[in-house]
Amino acid sequence: MRKEASAVVAGIFVLSLLVAAEFQLGTVMAGDSSKCMAVPPYVAESCAAGDVVFDGFRVCCDFLRRAGAECNAFYLREIAAAGVDDVGLFSGCKHGF
């Protein structure tokens, strides 16, 4: 379970970088779509995997948001014990992003 949680966290980080890069690229190319190439299969597969990763992140984040500040420290320790290496990724959840 620890490996899966670490993979999810790593995936979230990598995908957030990819989304930021793709957004910037997309805004540059939006004016002339004739310059756009087809999405490579590995990118499409990564985007599909990212959808699953972000859904998992949202479930955890929504739970922490509903739990309230008095329980979040306890829950974050449990999440770390389950294998999440950087529980700081969830720090914004308690504030409602």
DSSP annotation of 88 reads G
Please state the domain count of the chain. 1
Q: How far is CA 49 from CA 22, 28, 41, 79, 81, in A?
A: 16, 25, 12, 22, 25
Q: Look at residue 74 and tell me whether its pLDDT is greater than 60.
A: yes
Lowest-confidence pick of 3-12, 44-53, 86-95? 3-12
96 assigned to some structural domain? no
79 assigned to some structural domain? yes
Is the four-CA dihedral 20, 45, 92, 80 of positive or negative sign? negative
pTM above 0.85, yes or no: no
| Full residue range of the structural domain in which residue 42 is found | 2-91
Q: What is the SS3 assignment for 37? A: coil
38 assigned to some structural domain? yes
97 assigned to some structural domain? no
Confidence of residue 73 (pLDDT cuts 50, 70, 90): confident
41 assigned to some structural domain? yes
